[in-house]
Chain A
Amino acid sequence: MAMEMDILYLFITAVSAFFVVLVAALTLIFAIKYRRRHPDEVGADIHGSLVLELTWTFIPFVLSMVMFVWGADLFYRLARPPADSMDMFVVGKQWMWKVQHPAGVREINQMHVPIGRNVRIFLGSEDVLHDYSIPAFRVKMDAVPGKITTMWFKATQAGTYHIFCAEYCGTKHSGMIGEVIAMEPQDYEAWLAGGRSTGTAVENGERLFSTLSCNTCHKPDSTGRGPSLHGVFGSTVQLADGRKVVADENYLRESIMNSQAKVVQGFQPIMPAFQGMVSEENLMQLIAYIKTLKPAAPADAVKK
């Protein structure tokens, strides 16, 4: 992807350079060639030319549309992580990056990744806007408080690369930096084995699901006071106010933090809001766990 972006960059640079040279040459040549030779002199009586106007309307239009389509295609692919990605969880807070690997190893301001693997990042923020920017991979995404955003990349060469916070976030904005350490897959495995894991995201999520007593209401068989969460991820949920929404990460997030916002049809709005009680990291773990819950029995699907 980085290569594709550089090619697009070079294309636009070439187009721009052509027009800068053209405009500069025309103005300079005209200014010199038609310089005033007599104080009373005036210019020729020329009012315009429809053909020329249409030419310099049409050519920039076509070129800009080429850039639009090219850039839109690239953006579209960069916005959609491939299905076979490994999931990393990154949370920004003033002024550090907290990274959790799928295997549960955590690190701060560093992110070890294996090369040749698609890496999808779920990005959150504890406080204000941040932006997880890795210029070498040509990727960047805002960490927006109250939301989970995603980005993805594939490192192709082992090495160390800058991580910057690219969205201004206060005093130590320029200190909110780190590095991606891209490693051969076997080195990455070795590194993971040497790290201390406090359980995978899913395991931690499962533990939180019971310590926060989610499981007392959200039972697998829909007999609880809350809807069953088995198979909820990716499904279409019928809400009490008649709307239908697709249950993605941000729906799950909102339903935990601000549970009254979207109440599922057939259930009472009795769930407490967990705003302020669950950290962004725990939230991501909970969601990771909920995403693993498969429909227990076909009958459950009725209640969705």
Chain B
Amino acid sequence: MAESLVALVGNPNCGKTALFNTLTGLRNKVANYPGVTVEVVKSELSKTYGGNCVLIDLPGTYSLSPVSDDEAITSDLLSGASGQLKPQLIINVLDATQLELGLGLTLDLLRLGSPVVVVLNMMDLAESSGAVINVDTLARELGVPVVAISATKKWGLDKLSNAIKSSISTPQTSKELDWNDLNSKGELVHKIVLSCTETKGRHSELTARVDKYVLHPVYGPLILLAALALIFQAVFAWAAFPMDLIEGFVSKISELISTLMPEGLLRDLLVDGIIGGVGSVIVFLPQIVILFSFILFLEDFGYMARASYLMDRIMGTVGLSGKAVIPLVSGLACAVPSILATRSIPSKRDRLLTMMLALNDMFGATSCLCAFNCSFYSREAVPWNESARCSDATALRGRSFGSAGGRICSKGNRIARRGATFIDRTSSL
């Protein structure tokens, strides 16, 4: 039975989940964008790392004074405010390439009084960027064990397991660190960073050179437009081929079963219910995979942040941040991946607003239904907007019918082009 609680805490995107998987032997999905862990994940620590306790992976945070929902979860749990068990040991994961950003949280954690083990993750990246961090000096300054590792390359893990074991058996709390307000905390962090790093890692020359173009007032928006056009083209057009394949495959199977089975309720359940239902969902898979590959790729290169910066003013006029642009553009192809993509927006309010807006995008299936509705109403010459709105409602209803709605949805892309010309014709009547 697990007895004690060990918490993994760190900044967003510093490799907590990768480390969590290594420590527990699990394979949770790890992705390189903030907000991957939005819920608390628990698992037993594997025997090699001490065993006999439960490890919890917490959403990333920059401090214990929470700004977003995710951060509130972390700060409540660590202080025991939510009525839960207070963790016996805190493993504080730091991104070694951004030491100064992470140490603020470390100081907050030390103040809680729980034993802390500091883990410097991505040490390999820090070293290759020229920053030499003296682990022993850092440990002396903080008064707690510090271990340098690389969670993805799996080195330094044996040292980590020793540190965890000894910290659980003989808890070690830090010495008194002297800070009262935010400014003195900042100064302390700066002092610690200066004392333990030998060459301060500046951002690379390459970043500065690339930024000259991607943040440029003229080239920047043009590059962004090209990137969005590429994503849109991929999700809208390139995904059509694999989608058709899946659709064909599904209809082949249902045909096959239709011929093999006698007519009746069971056949209808299998063909129309299960195969039709599952088929209408997996047909979106290519779009989802393509869109998320783009998002991960752009996030990995740091372009998402730059795209948000460029779009911020325009999105700001409807009360959103620049991050909403990718979900909204891909929503023109299909609302399903678009709503999934809103995950990367940190604020809950912005996320909901973006989802609402994405639903009103004129995506393929909607325009198909719109054309359908136009044919009903065209005699009374309903204005274009009106019919678009009521077809939106129809689309939602259609989707909730499951297989039938789903199939209309999946065919939407192909019919969309025909639908679009149709709308032009009917609306000009």
Partners in one complex: no
Query: A residues near B, CB below 8 A?
Result: none
